[in-house]
């Protein structure tokens, strides 16, 4: 589509590393929002919850 004479165009060129977050980073996970199925979202949530669960066996003191 031709632009009318005198039209100004601004183009930003960024390196790929600045526009794409590191794989597995919190930023990359957040970019998935809205693109996941319910099952995929539940699987990610379950895995995150299991990682954060406290293993009380590790805290028991032996006397």
pLDDT in tens, 3-61: 889 999 998 887 766 667 888 888 887 887 778 888 988 998 898 888 887 888 888 87
Q: Taking the model in full, what pTM does it have?
A: 0.38
**What pLDDT score does 7 carry?**
92
The neighbour count for residue 18, using CB atoms within 10 Å, is 7
**What pLDDT score does 8 carry?**
92
**What pLDDT score does 23 carry?**
84
Give the C-alpha distances (Å, rounded to integers) separating 18 from 5, 10, 15, 21, 22.
33, 19, 6, 7, 10
User: Distance between CA atoms of 44 and 29, rounded to whole angstroms?
Assistant: 9
**What pLDDT score does 41 carry?**
84
Report, in angstroms and rounded to the nearest whole number, the Rg of the chain calculated over CA atoms: 23
């Amino acid at each position: 589509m031709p632009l009318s004479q005198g039209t100004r165009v601004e183009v930003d060129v960024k390196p790929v590393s600045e526009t794409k977050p590191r794989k597995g980073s919190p930023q990359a996970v957040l970019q998935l929002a809205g693109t996941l199925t319910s099952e995929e979202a539940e699987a990610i949530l379950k895995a995150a919850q299991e990682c954060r669960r406290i293993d009380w066996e590790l805290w028991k003191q032996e006397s």
